[in-house]
């Protein structure tokens, strides 16, 4: 008879919930990135990063009030929140800078090193056990990224690509810090301090070269506000419920979003290598889910 112990069933349920939130977060952030890419042609990278936090902050405040969790905002571990703010500002500023020269799909392909970094760092930081099947899936997915990116073209050596790599490292540190904070701090506090820290932290750095915001860019800022809020909330829940090593690889779905948005907004169609790389990434993600399910099933007499 095949049974699933209660704790394993709960873990699988939590991982599945984390995966769903991660897919939602990726879709929302892809829309936000597309809107920010249009803004990078008119404003400095740090200012765009600050605007991303600033326009989302009112929605975050309404969310905190709706959840009646204002009091929880002050019951936090300040040092970890400060670390998350610093790496968050660096992460988004570097990524926005890269979007000036890279297509979304290309930037996402390089950024996909982040799940690998998260899985590696989750071992000493979170004391998580990464199964061999997870390593195989993550490694295969990263191989798919290389196929899609075609590194022989020298893309890895460009300034934009180096900025994305730095952004990916910052993201990995921020994600793990968020996972640690989620053990004691509320989701509302993580979203509020992450968004406000980005708005004011990047704003202070951008102020000397601040460019007045044009009215014609208000629609793009509205997209950034809503999608950024939804994405921040969803990714906080993703790492709260799911194991970092399980949830992180589902960020690979951003490649499909990047390809679609590039085609829709900038008329950049994916080539055969990009499609092949995407197929490899998706196959590895499905393989990882399958292995996760098999490992959690226990056969008893």
Residues 6+ apart with CB under 8 A from 272: none
**pLDDT value for 119:** 74
On whether the pTM is more than 0.85, the answer is no
Tell me the Ramachandran region of residue 68: left when phi exceeds 0, alpha when psi lies from -120 to 50, beta otherwise.
left
**pLDDT value for 216:** 95
Tokens encoding 196: 């406000």
Cα Rg of the chain (Å, integer): 19
**pLDDT value for 298:** 43
Closest CA to 212 of 32, 44, 33: 44
* Environment class of 153 (CB within 10 Å of its CB; exposed 0-12, middle 13-18, buried 19+): exposed
The rounded distance, in Å, linking the Cα atoms of 280 and 125 is 29
- Parts of the chain with a pLDDT under 70: 1-10, 148-157, 245, 274, 288-301
């Amino acid at each position: 008879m095949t049974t699933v112990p209660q704790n394993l069933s709960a873990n699988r349920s939590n991982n599945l919930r984390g995966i769903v939130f991660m897919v939602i977060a990726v879709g929302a952030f892809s829309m936000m990135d597309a809107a920010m890419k249009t803004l990078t042609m008119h404003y400095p990278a740090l200012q765009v990063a600050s605007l991303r936090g600033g326009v989302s902050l009112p929605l975050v405040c309404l969310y905190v009030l709706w959840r009646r969790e204002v009091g929880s905002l002050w019951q936090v571990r300040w040092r970890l929140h400060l670390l998350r703010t610093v790496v968050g500002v660096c992460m988004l500023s570097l990524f926005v800078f890269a979007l000036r020269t890279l297509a979304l799909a290309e930037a996402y392909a390089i950024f996909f090193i982040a799940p690998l970094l998260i899985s590696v760092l989750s071992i000493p930081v979170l004391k998580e056990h990464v199964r061999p099947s997870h390593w195989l899936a993550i490694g295969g997915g990263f191989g798919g990224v290389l196929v899609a990116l075609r590194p022989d073209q020298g893309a890895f050596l460009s300034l934009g690509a180096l900025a994305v790599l730095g952004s990916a490292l910052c993201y990995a540190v921020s994600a793990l810090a968020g996972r640690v904070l989620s053990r004691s701090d509320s989701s509302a506090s993580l979203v509020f301090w992450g968004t406000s820290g980005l708005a004011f932290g990047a704003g202070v750095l951008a102020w000397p070269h601040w460019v007045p915001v044009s009215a014609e860019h208000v629609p793009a800022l509205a997209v950034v506000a809503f999608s950024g809020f939804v994405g921040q909330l969803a990714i906080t829940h993703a790492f709260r419920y799911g194991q970092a090593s399980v949830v992180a690889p589902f960020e690979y779905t951003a490649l499909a979003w990047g390809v679609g948005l590039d085609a829709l907004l900038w008329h950049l169609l994916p080539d055969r290598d990009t499609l092949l790389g995407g197929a490899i990434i998706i196959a590895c993600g499905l393989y990882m889910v399958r292995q996760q399910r098999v490992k959690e099933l226990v056969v008893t007499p």
